[in-house]
Amino acid sequence: MITAELRHLEPHYDVVISGGGPAGMAAAIGARERGAEKVLLIDREAEAGGILWQCIHHGFGLHHFGEELTGPEYAQRYLKQVIDNGIDVLTDTYVYDISPVRRLKLMSGSQGIRTIDAGAVVLAMGARERTRGAIRIPGERPSGVLTAGLAQKFVNMMGLLPGRRVVILGSGDIGLIMARRLTLEGVEVLGVFEIMPYANGLNRNIVQCLHDYDIPLHLSTTVVDIRGRDRVQGVTVAPVSATLKPDMSRAWDIACDTVLLSIGLIPENELSRRIDLRLDPVTSGPVVTSRMQTSANGVFACGNVVHIHDLVDFVSEEATLAGQAAGDYAMFRHLPADNIRLIPGDNVAYCVPHTLSTDREHTVYMRVRKPMEKCTIRFGSAFKTKVKYVFPAEMVNITLMPELLEKFHGDTLRIDVVQR
């Protein structure tokens, strides 16, 4: 594939995108659509595409392309568009620093260091996985406790197995996908343990990755001890009470050599912190406008760096918008100001974007705190809609038409999800 060379970079680009995963690629194309001429997509790996390369399972693209693709196929389609659009792709390069005037310090793995200036910047660095330390699992500290995504890298990219007998803690989608993947590799997957009374992954993954392979899912159960001096030798699991307290009288031991963790993702915002972007304490991502602009002028963000998505299709959608807005900004087009503020209310953990304008339609992404059936989603008195069920694992997206919003100019809209 065509890549830019660090030493041949221009001193100034209209739009620079940090991170060449699904969000970054869609943003780059969005920026070109709005006439940004010099668009630079930067990725730290040898090829753009991000985490999609290791997601060799299918299930991507149903919403966006209307057909079912694997991760690498989805990446390939976007990459082709990136190249066809004349976007410069700079790989093996790390955006090390960014200044408030959008000067970026780039470090290349083969060509040294240099700085460039950007008319607009799009942050698309994705997310990282929560680790053992984040939930402080008691016990020994042997090898063999690793995140599901790292295990996926070992298996799908490096042809290595993380172990032979695996217990999975947490029911996030990557863990469910890996339960099936490892089973297909001949690894014994002894069970998935989820502390909450409901699964944290998509229902289709529960069915296709666990049920179809007879892998038990233990809800309201967690790992309370990890044993093994050198390598994991076993774990103790215990059911938990409604307050998530383990009931040790009903605990049992499982001999295993590996514990995979699928306990959530955290937006990767180290770069965002360098320019003191306002972050949302719930999402751990930047607070964004309806055009995905952060609290810094000309700095946009999209994808998992803003909030954790469960489907890449919605990442692409959100990132296209961010890229288009970055293109407009870089081309000195006026971005209409947002004038409605959204506030998460009953059973709403967060919503993105954080503000809306009244000039066009918007998609609002949100997550609920707890499952609920037969409920109504209300945006203040502006809009309400009935839904059959909501689930923390499945992002809710609602499209709002401009005519609904017009009379709320200057207002705050509280979003509630309530039982009917």
Partner 1 sequence: MLYDVAIVGGGVIGCAIARALSRFHLRIILVEKECEIGFGTSKSNSGIIHAGHHASPGTLKGELEWAGNQMWDALHDELDFGFARNGELMLAMAPDQMATLEHYRRQGAGRGVTGLEIWDGERVRREEPALSATVVAGLHAPTAGVANPYEVCFSLIDNARANGVEILVDSPVAAIACDGDGVFTLSTRQRPVHARFVVNAAGVFADEVARMAGAGGFRIRPRRGEEYLLDKRLKGMVRHIIFPCPTPQSKGILVIPTYDGTLMVGPTAAFIEDKDERTTSAAGSDEIFAAVRRFVPGISERDCIAEFAGLRAVTDDEDFIIGPSAQKGFINCAGIQSPGLTASPAIAERIVAILRDEGLEMTPNPTYQPHIVRRVLFASLGLEDQVRLAAEDSRYGRIGCRCEQISEREIIDAIHAGARTLDGIKFRTRAGMGRCQGGFCSWRSMQLLSSELGIPMTAITKRGGNSWIVCDRDEGDAA
Binding residues for partner 1 (CB under 8 A): 44, 92, 94, 96, 105, 107-115, 128-129, 131-134, 136, 138-144, 146-147, 149-150, 153-154, 158-164, 185-186, 224-225, 229-231, 257, 270, 273
Q: Give first-to-last CA distance, the chain, whole Å.
A: 54
Q: Whole-number minimum distance, CB 70 to partner 1, in Å? A: 20
Q: Whole-number minimum distance, CB 210 to partner 1, in Å? A: 23
Task: Considering the complex, state which of residue 84 and residue 270 has its C-beta at the smaller distance from partner 1.
Answer: 270
Cβ within 8 Å of residue 121, ≥6 positions away: 15, 16, 17, 18, 98, 102, 104, 298, 299, 300, 326
Long-range contacts of 36-39 (CB under 8 A, 24+ apart): 36/119, 36/120, 36/326, 36/327, 36/330, 36/331, 38/10, 38/12, 38/13, 38/14, 38/88, 39/13, 39/14, 39/15, 39/85, 39/87, 39/88, 39/327
Give the amino acid at 160. Answer: L
Q: Whole-number minimum distance, CB 125 to partner 1, in Å? A: 9
Q: Is 329 helix (H, G, I), strand (E, B) or coil?
A: helix
Q: Whole-number minimum distance, CB 131 to partner 1, in Å? A: 4
Cβ within 8 Å of residue 348, ≥6 positions away: 366, 367, 368, 369, 415, 416, 417
Q: Whole-number minimum distance, CB 394 to partner 1, in Å? A: 24
Task: Considering the complex, state which of residue 233 and residue 339 has its C-beta at the smaller distance from partner 1.
Answer: 233
> For the chain, what is the radius of gyration of the CA atoms?
22
Q: Sign (positive/negative) of CA torsion 157, 268, 290, 375?
A: positive
**222, containing H or E segment:** strand 221-227
Contact 95, 42 (CB under 8 A): yes
Is the backbone of residue 198 left (phi > 0), alpha (psi -120 to 50) or beta? beta
Task: Considering the complex, state which of residue 153 and residue 414 has its C-beta at the smaller distance from partner 1.
Answer: 153
Q: Whole-number minimum distance, CB 222 to partner 1, in Å? A: 11
Distances (CA, A) of 341 to 42, 266, 351, 404, 411: 33, 24, 11, 14, 7
Q: Whole-number minimum distance, CB 129 to partner 1, in Å? A: 5
Task: Considering the complex, state which of residue 56 and residue 398 has its C-beta at the smaller distance from partner 1.
Answer: 56
Two tokens at 120?
Answer: 């607009």
Q: Whole-number minimum distance, CB 42 to partner 1, in Å? A: 13
Task: Considering the complex, state which of residue 49 and residue 144 has its C-beta at the smaller distance from partner 1.
Answer: 144
Contact 291, 335 (CB under 8 A): yes
Task: Considering the complex, state which of residue 93 and residue 358 has its C-beta at the smaller distance from partner 1.
Answer: 93
Strand partners, 312: none
Residue 258, CB half-sphere, CA atoms under 13 Å: how many? 25
Task: Considering the complex, state which of residue 147 and residue 316 has its C-beta at the smaller distance from partner 1.
Answer: 147
User: What are the backbone angles phi and psi of residue 113, rounded to the nearest 5°?
Assistant: -125, 145
Q: Whole-number minimum distance, CB 89 to partner 1, in Å? A: 17
Q: Whole-number minimum distance, CB 153 to partner 1, in Å? A: 6
Q: How many CB atoms lie within 10 A of CB 319?
A: 33
